[in-house]
C-alpha cells in the first residue's frame, strides 16, 4: 500500500471547497499535542491526518505543543513526541512551535478583549461559579462581578499577572452569554492563577491561559487554515469562533481566519488509550515503561516491531469520519503482517522444544542445507545455511500422541517433512514417570534430501539442530486487556507476557535484519535487551493460523445473531391543539392544502409568511406552493435568517413548473439561485437558458448519451432494468436540467427498444 493512496474523506472535501471558493489559497494544518504523556496510536491517526493533508495539498503542517497546564507537562514528553512523529515519517520542517512562547502575545490579546468590554475578572470561587453557570436545562446567572468597569478589570488582571493574588482568587472570563444553550459559551474562563513551575517558562508566569483562549489564537498566529480536532471539541467551536471574531487580528481578512473541524478519535478494540490509565500502568510498574511492547504508545509499538509504514497504512485503512466507531485490532494486525511479509527474512526457531533423535542418522555426521530467506512469491534473493544432525528440536505442538483428524504433523508411526531437510517418521515416544513426553525417536528417509519427495506428505514442520542451536529469550505478547472495550478499572491480562526459552537456528543472529519471521510462528523483532550471546526477541504478531482457528471453531461459537429489523409502528403524532387549530385555519383560507404541510407551515412562521405571500400571488397553485415551501425552501434556507427572495418570486417559480415551462430539476437550480441572490425566477430562467428542451433536441441528447454508455445499454437490454434509472440520470445531466423527466423517460424507453 503506498502512502499516496489516501482515500478521500469529508475533510478533504472541505479543503477542496475552501480552495475552490477562494476562502484560502493554501493549506496549513497543525498537530497540537499537550506534552503530558507519550504519543499513542490514537495520536498517530491525527498525525497522519494532519501531515498527509498538508502533503496532499502542497501545504505545511506545524507541530505545536499546547503547553498551558504547567503541572502535567515536561520536556521528556516533548522529546518523545518529536521522535515518534519523525519515526512515523513526517517532517514539520522549521515549523515547531510552543504555545508557551505566545504567552506575552496572548496576554495582550486578553487585555484587548478587556478593553472592548468583552472580558472581565471574576472573583467567585470555583464552586460558586459552577452554581452560577446553571445546568443544561436552566440558564445561568451573571456573576456579581460581571459588570466591573474596564479600568477595574485591567487593574485586576495586571495584578493577577504580577502575582498579587492567591490561586483561585480570580479568573479572567469572556463576557458572552450566561444563558447560552451551549454551556461552553456561558462566560468561559480564559486565564487562571497557577503558581506552578513551567517546564519551559520556569517561574516567569503565575497566570496561564486556558485551552479555549490559547488554541484558536495560536492557530491564528500561525496562520493555520484548517484546525482539525476530535469530536469532543464540537461544543468548543463556538468559543473558537467568538474569540477570533472579537479580536482584530491583522493578518486576516474576513473569512480567511482558521476554522475548526472535528473528526472521530480512534477507538481500538482491546486497547486502553486513556492517558491517565497509561500513566498509572507505567508508574505502578505494571508494564516496564512507556515503551513496553504491550503499550499502545508509538514507542511501545516500535519496540514490539511495528513499522512506520504499517501504522500509516492502518491510518489510511480506517479512514476519517464523524462516526464514533470501534476499530477491530485485527485491522492493525493485518497491516503489520502485510508489511513484514515483504521485509522479514525467514528463519526457524523452536519456541517450546521437544527433543528428537534420528536413530538411523550417524552419530557424528552433520550436513548443511541451503535455505532461502524469502519464499518464492516474495521474490527476494538471499539464503542461509541450516545444519542437520542426529539430534534436533521440534515444536511440542507439532507432535500429538493421539492426533485428531486432519492433523498433518507428527504422531506415532506418521511421517512429516522437516523443512528444507528430510522426511522423518516417528518410531517411538519416550515418556518420563509422570507421563510427560520427553523425547521422540524417529527414522529419516535418505531419499528425501532437501525435503523432496515422490510420495505425498501433507505436513512440513520447522526444526533446529540441537548441536548448534542458539538459546534465545522470546517474549510472547498477548493483548494487555481482555475486554473488547477496557475500562480504567479493568485488570490487565495476566498472560499478556510469556517469556519462552527458544532454540534458534544458528545462522539467524548474524542476519542483518531488524525483523525476522520465525517460520510457521510469526514475526519477531530484536529487543534492545538482547546481547550478542543471548538474543532477545519480541513477538510482533503471529502468522495467521487457520489450523488453530479450525480446532477452536469446533468448539461451538455462537453465530452473531443480529437483532434484525423490528419495524416500528408509525408512532401517532402528538399535535399541539393550538397548532392544529392554526393549521385548520390555514387550510380554510387556501383550498387544496395538505394537512401535514399546513401543520409544518404553522410551526415555522418564517415559512408560513412566505407561503401566504406566494399563495396570494398564485392562488391556483396553493398545493404545489406548500410542497415547495415545506420541502425545498425549508432545506435550502436552513442556514439563513433572512430570505433573499419573497413570496411572489416563489409563486412565479412554481407557476413556471406548473405550466411546464421548466422542469422540476431546473426549478431547483433556480431556487438555489433565488436563495443565494434573490431576483426573479423568469429572469434566472432566461439568463441561464433553463427553459424546457424540445423533443427533437431531447432525442438527440438521448442518442448521444446512449452512444457514450454502450455497456450499460447492453446490460439494460439484457434485462438489468434498474439501469434505466442510471441512463435517465445521465440524460438529465447531459441536458443540463432542461429535460422534462416524463417525456425523457418515454423517449428513452423507446430508444432502448
DSSP three-state, residue 350: strand
CB of 27 to RNA, least distance (A): 16
Site for RNA in 694-753 (CB under 7 A): 712, 715, 722-723, 725-726, 728-730, 732-733, 741-742, 745
- Of 634-663, binders to RNA (CB under 7 A) are 634-635, 638
Instruction: Give least dist CB 237 to RNA, A.
Output: 8
- Does residue number 630 form part of the binding site for RNA (CB under 7 A)? yes
Rule CB under 7 A: say whether 544 interacts with RNA.
yes
Min dist. Cβ of residue 54 to RNA (A): 19
- CA-CA distance, 267 to 264, in Å (whole number)? 9
Contact residue for RNA among 82, 145, 159, 194 (CB under 7 A): 194
Told to check if 10 binds RNA by CB under 7 A, we report: yes
Q: Is 130 in the site for RNA (CB under 7 A)?
A: yes
- Of 59 and 451, nearer to RNA (C-beta) is 451
Per-residue binding string, RNA, 278-307, x by CB under 7 A, is ------------------------------
Q: Is 717 a catalytic residue?
A: no
Q: Output DSSP code: residue 677.
A: H
**Quick check: 193 binds RNA (CB under 7 A)?**
yes
Beta-sheet pairing, 470-477 with 515-518: unpaired
Report the C-alpha gap between 512 and 88 in whole angstroms.
22
How far apart, in whole angstroms, are the C-alpha atoms of residue 113 and residue 259? 20
Residue 321 sits in the site that holds RNA (CB under 7 A): yes
Intra-chain end-to-end CA distance of the chain, in Å = 46
Question: Is the C-alpha dihedral spanning 717, 720, 722, 725 positive or negative?
Answer: negative
Helix H or strand E segment including 228: strand 226-230
Q: Which of 133, 265, 425, 715 is catalytic?
A: 265
Site for RNA in 42-61 (CB under 7 A): none
Interface with RNA (CB under 7 A), residue from 19, 112, 264, 699: 264
What string marks each residue from 378 to 397 as x (binds RNA by CB under 7 A) or -? Answer: x-------------------
DSSP-assigned letters across all residues of 475-532: EEE--S--SSS--TTPPPPTTSEEEEEEEE-TTGGGS--SEEEETTTEEEEE-TT--S
Number of Cβ atoms within 10 Å of the Cβ of 219: 25
76 vs 534, beta carbon nearer RNA: 76
Binding track, positions 204-233, relative to RNA; x by CB under 7 A: ----x-xxx-xx---------------xxx
Q: Which of residues 336-365 bind RNA (CB under 7 A)?
A: 337-338, 341, 346
Per CB under 7 A, the list member of 116, 197, 322, 467 interacting with RNA is 322
CA-nearest of 190, 174, 163 to 68 is 190
- Tell me: does residue 234 bind RNA (CB under 7 A): yes
Helix axes 664-677, 681-688, angle to 10 degrees: 110
Tell me the window of 66-74, 106-114, 277-285, 287-295 that interacts with RNA (CB under 7 A). Answer: 66-74
Looking at 200, 221, 302, 665, which residue binds RNA (CB under 7 A)? 665
Q: How far apart are CA 64 and CA 424, in angstroms?
A: 62
Name the segment binding RNA (CB under 7 A); options: 22-30, 242-250, 284-292, 403-411: 403-411
288 vs 449, beta carbon nearer RNA: 449
Our finding on whether 425 is near RNA (CB under 7 A) is no
Residue list 475-514, contact with RNA (CB under 7 A):
none
- Give the position of cell 446490460: 715
Which window, 375-383, 488-496, 504-512, 581-589, contacts RNA (CB under 7 A)?
375-383
Of 281 and 602, CB closest to RNA: 602
The owner of cell 411572489 is 648
**Sole binder of RNA in the list 603, 606, 680, 751 (CB under 7 A):** 603
Cβ closest to RNA, residue 438 vs residue 553: 553
Among 4, 20, 136, 434, binds RNA (CB under 7 A): 136
Which of 436, 445, 431, 432 minimizes the C-alpha distance to 359?
445
**Contact between 163 and RNA (CB under 7 A)?**
no
115 is an interface residue for RNA by CB under 7 A: no
Nearest to 125 by CA among 184, 166, 170, 175: 170
Q: What contacts 585, CB < 8 A, 6 or more positions away?
A: none
> Measured between alpha carbons, how far is 293 from 674 in angstroms, rounded to an integer?
61
374/645 with CB nearer RNA: 374
The smaller minimum CB distance to RNA, of residues 82 and 627, is found at 627
Q: Secondary structure of 255-276 in the HEC alphabet? A: CCCCEEEEECCCCECCCCCCHH
The angle at the Cα of 597, spanning 594 to 600, to the nearest 5 degrees, equals: 150
If the CB atoms of residues 497 and 628 are measured against RNA, the closer one turns out to be: 628
**CA 736, 741, 745, 746 torsion: positive or negative?**
negative
Catalytic residue among 83, 141, 201, 275: 275
DSSP 72-84: T--HHHHHHHHHH
H or E element in which residue 104 lies? helix 103-115
- Per the CB < 8 A criterion, the answer to whether 190 and 112 are in contact is no
Q: Is 265 a catalytic residue?
A: yes
Measured from the CB atom, is 255 or 375 closer to RNA?
Answer: 375
Residue 654: Cβ-neighbour burial (10 angstroms; 0-12, 13-18, 19+): buried
Binding residues among 554-593 for RNA as defined by CB under 7 A: 560, 562, 565, 567-568, 570-571, 573-574
Residue 235 three-state SS: helix
Q: Is 192 in the site for RNA (CB under 7 A)?
A: yes
Does 367 participate in catalysis according to the annotation? no
Cβ neighbours of 125 (radius 10 Å): 11
Size of the residue set binding RNA (CB under 7 A) = 132
Give residues 459-478 in contact with RNA (rule: CB under 7 A): 459-462
Binding residue for RNA (CB under 7 A) from 223, 334, 679, 752? 334
Sign, CA dihedral 736-742-746-752, equals positive
Q: Which residues are catalytic?
A: 34, 265, 275
Amino acid at each position: 500500500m503506498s502512502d499516496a493512496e489516501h482515500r478521500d474523506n469529508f475533510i478533504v472535501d472541505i479543503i477542496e471547497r475552501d480552495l475552490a471558493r477562494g476562502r484560502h489559497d493554501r493549506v496549513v494544518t497543525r498537530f497540537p499535542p499537550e506534552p503530558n504523556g507519550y504519543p499513542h496510536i490514537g495520536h498517530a491517526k491525527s498525525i497522519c491526518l494532519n501531515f498527509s493533508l498538508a502533503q496532499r495539498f502542497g501545504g505545511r503542517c506545524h507541530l505545536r505543543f499546547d503547553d498551558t497546564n504547567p503541572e502535567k507537562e515536561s520536556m521528556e514528553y516533548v522529546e518523545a513526541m518529536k521522535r515518534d512523529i519523525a519515526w512515523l515519517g513526517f517532517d514539520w520542517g522549521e515549523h515547531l512551535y510552543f504555545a508557551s512562547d505566545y504567552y506575552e502575545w496572548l496576554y495582550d490579546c486578553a487585555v484587548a478583549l478587556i478593553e472592548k468590554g468583552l472580558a472581565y475578572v471574576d472573583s467567585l470561587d470555583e464552586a460558586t461559579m459552577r452554581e452560577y453557570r446553571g445546568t443544561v436545562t436552566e440558564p445561568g446567572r451573571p456573576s456579581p462581578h460581571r459588570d466591573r468597569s474596564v479600568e477595574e478589570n485591567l487593574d485586576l488582571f495586571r495584578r493577577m499577572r504580577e502575582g498579587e493574588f492567591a490561586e483561585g482568587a480570580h479568573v479572567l472570563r469572556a463576557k458572552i452569554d450566561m444563558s447560552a444553550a451551549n454551556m461552553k459559551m456561558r462566560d468561559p474562563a480564559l486565564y487562571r492563577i497557577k503558581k506552578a513551575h513551567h517546564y519551559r517558562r520556569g517561574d516567569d508566569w503565575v497566570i496561564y491561559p486556558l485551552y479555549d483562549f490559547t488554541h484558536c489564537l495560536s492557530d491564528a498566529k500561525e496562520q493555520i487554515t484548517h484546525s482539525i480536532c476530535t469530536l469532543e471539541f464540537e461544543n468548543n467551536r463556538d468559543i473558537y469562533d467568538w474569540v477570533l471574531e472579537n479580536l482584530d487580528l491583522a493578518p486576516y481578512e474576513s473569512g480567511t481566519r482558521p476554522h475548526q473541524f472535528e473528526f472521530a478519535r480512534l477507538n481500538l478494540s482491546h486497547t486502553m488509550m486513556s492517558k491517565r490509565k497509561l500513566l498509572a500502568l507505567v508508574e505502578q510498574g505494571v508494564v516496564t515503561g512507556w515503551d513496553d511492547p504491550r503499550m499502545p504508545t508509538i514507542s511501545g509499538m516500535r519496540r514490539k516491531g511495528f513499522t512506520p509504514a504499517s501504522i500509516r497504512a492502518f491510518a489510511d485503512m480506517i479512514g476519517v469520519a464523524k462516526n464514533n466507531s470501534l476499530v477491530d485490532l485485527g485491522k492493525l494486525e493485518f497491516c503489520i503482517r502485510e508489511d513484514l511479509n515483504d521485509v522479514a527474512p525467514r528463519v526457524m526457531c523452536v519456541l517450546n522444544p521437544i527433543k528428537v533423535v534420528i536413530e538411523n542418522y550417524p552419530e557424528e555426521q552433520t550436513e548443511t542445507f541451503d535455505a532461502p530467506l524469502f519464499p518464492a512469491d516474495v521474490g527476494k534473493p538471499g539464503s542461509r545455511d541450516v545444519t542437520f544432525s542426529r539430534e534436533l528440536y521440534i515444536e511440542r505442538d507439532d507432535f500429538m500422541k493421539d492426533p485428531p483428524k486432519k492433523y498433518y504433523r507428527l504422531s506415532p508411526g506418521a511421517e512429516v517433512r522437516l523443512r528444507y531437510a528430510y522426511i522423518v517418521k516417528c518410531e517411538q515416544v519416550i515418556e518420563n514417570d509422570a507421563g510427560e513426553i520427553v523425547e521422540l525417536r524417529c527414522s529419516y528417509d535418505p531419499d528425501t534430501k532437501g525435503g523432496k519427495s515422490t510420495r505425498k506428505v501433507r505436513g512440513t514442520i520447522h526444526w533446529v539442530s540441537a548441536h548448534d542451536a542458539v538459546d534465545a529469550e522470546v517474549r510472547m505478547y498477548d493483548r494487555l486487556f481482555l475486554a473488547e472495550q477496557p475500562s480504567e478499572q479493568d485488570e490487565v491480562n495476566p498472560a499478556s507476557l510469556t517469556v519462552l526459552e527458544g532454540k534458534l537456528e544458528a545462522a539467524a543472529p548474524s542476519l542483518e535484519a531488524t525483523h525476522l519471521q520465525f517460520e510457521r510462528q510469526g514475526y519477531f523483532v530484536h529487543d534492545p535487551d538482547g546481547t550478542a550471546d543471548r538474543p532477545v526477541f519480541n513477538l510482533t504478531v503471529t502468522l495467521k493460523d487457520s489450523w488453530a482457528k479450525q480446532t477452536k471453531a469446533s468448539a461451538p461459537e455462537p453465530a452473531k445473531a443480529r437483532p434484525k429489523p423490528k419495524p416500528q409502528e408509525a408512532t401517532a403524532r402528538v399535535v399541539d391543539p393550538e397548532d392544529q387549530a392554526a393549521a385548520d385555519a390555514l387550510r380554510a383560507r387556501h383550498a387544496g392544502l395538505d394537512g401535514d404541510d399546513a401543520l409544518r407551515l404553522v410551526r415555522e412562521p418564517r415559512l408560513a409568511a412566505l407561503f401566504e405571500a406566494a399563495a396570494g400571488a398564485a392562488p391556483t397553485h396553493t398545493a404545489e406552493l406548500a410542497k415547495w415551501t415545506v420541502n425545498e425552501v425549508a432545506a435550502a434556507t436552513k442556514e439563513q435568517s433572512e430570505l433573499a427572495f419573497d413570496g411572489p418570486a416563489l409563486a412565479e417559480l412554481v407557476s413556471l413548473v406548473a405550466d411546464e415551462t421548466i422542469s422540476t430539476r431546473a426549478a431547483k437550480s433556480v431556487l438555489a439561485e433565488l436563495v443565494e441572490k434573490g431576483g426573479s425566477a423568469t429572469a434566472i430562467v432566461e439568463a441561464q437558458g433553463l427553459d424546457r428542451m424540445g423533443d427533437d433536441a431531447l432525442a438527440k441528447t438521448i442518442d448521444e448519451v446512449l452512444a457514450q454508455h454502450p455497456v450499460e445499454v447492453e446490460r439494460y437490454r439484457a434485462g438489468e432494468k434498474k439501469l434505466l434509472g442510471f441512463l435517465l440520470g445521465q440524460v438529465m445531466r447531459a441536458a443540463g436540467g432542461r429535460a422534462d423527466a416524463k417525456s425523457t423517460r418515454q423517449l428513452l424507453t423507446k430508444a432502448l427498444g
